[in-house]
Amino acid sequence: MSLAALFFYLFAAVAVASAFMVIASRNPVHSVLFLILTFVNAAGLFILIGAEFLAMLLVVVYVGAVAVLFLFVVMMLDVDFVELRQGFLQYLPVGALVGLVFLAELVLVFGSWTFGEGVTGAVLPAAAGVSNTVQIGRVLYTDYVYFFQAAGLVLLVAMIGAIVLTLRHKTNVKRQSIPVQNARTKAAAIDVVKVPSGKGL
């Protein structure tokens, strides 16, 4: 067994096991942590097939951003996950049935799959000595620059939209103003009052 095969089985086994733990663990925070483990192992699998750019993207985007966001949501939302989980086993037969149907479909597809004439020849061979990242960059910023820019504008609209629909300027909120704080002097801040004894203010 070669080293690559060894690592494949290692990553694959851990990925499947941690994916199972995502749905099986009782604590939702543990679920998210297992999800992160699954992502990292999937990234390892990507590296094994030579897609190092996708692997890094998976770690940066999914682990770095999405999973951490999940973690925030899970920890901040007051959802009773124990109650949500009631009847988990009850749905197991249906879920297993759906899984089996998918498995059967996959077997059928892979069993009968044939490439059309000339399709395999149409796949571009990887250029020698150029990494994936460089290749994607070359295509993304030349042939697809129009779509790249358009996608940027779509994201800009999404950002503006989120701000337009949710941001509210509250008027009666006291905000900290550091220059005002620094400008306060002893004379302005302290008022010495003579209190006659026995009378109070």
Partner 1 sequence: MIFTLSALGPALPELLLAVSAVILILFGAIAGPKSTDTVNGLALAAIFAALVLVILGPSEATLFNGSFQLDAYARFLKVLALLAAGSTLAMSVDWLKVEKQARFEFAILVILSTLGMMMLISAGDLIALYMGLELMSLALYVVAANNRDSVRSTEAGLKYFVLGALSSGMLLYGASLIYGFTGSVNFLHIAAAAQEPTLGLIFGIVFIFAGLCFKVSAVPFHMWTPDVYEGAPTPVTTFFAGAPKVAAMAVFVRVAIEALPHVVHQWQQIVVFVSIASMLLGSFAAIGQRNIKRLMAYSSIGHMGYALVGLAAGTEQGVRGVLVYMTIYVAMTLGTFACILSMRRKEGMVENYDDLAGLARTSPVKAFLLAALMFSLAGIPPLAGFLAKYYVFLAAIQAGLYTLAVIGVLSSVVGAFYYLRIVKVMYFDEPAEAFEPMPTELRAVLGIAGLFTLLFFVYPAPLLAAAGAAARALF
Q: What is the binding site for partner 1 (CB under 8 A)?
A: 142-143, 145-147, 149-151, 153-154, 156-158, 160-161, 163-165, 169
Joined together, the tokens standing for residue 3 give 């080293």
Joined together, the tokens standing for residue 64 give 């770095």
- Interior/surface letters 156-179, b for 16+ CB within 10 angstroms, e for the rest: eeeeeeeeeeeeeeeeeeeeeeee
- State the nearest-atom distance from the C-beta of 177 to partner 1, in Å: 17
H-run or E-run covering 16 = helix 3-24
Judged by beta carbon, residue 102 or residue 141, the one nearer partner 1 is 141
Judged by beta carbon, residue 16 or residue 151, the one nearer partner 1 is 151
Task: Tell me if 26 sits within 8 A of 82, measured CB to CB.
Answer: yes
Judged by beta carbon, residue 165 or residue 178, the one nearer partner 1 is 165
- State the nearest-atom distance from the C-beta of 118 to partner 1, in Å: 10
Judged by beta carbon, residue 73 or residue 154, the one nearer partner 1 is 154
DSSP H helical ranges for 26-144:
28-48, 52-57, 68-76, 81-84, 92-112, 119-122, 132-140
- State the nearest-atom distance from the C-beta of 184 to partner 1, in Å: 27
- State the nearest-atom distance from the C-beta of 15 to partner 1, in Å: 28
**Any idea which residue has 């203010």 for tokens?**
201
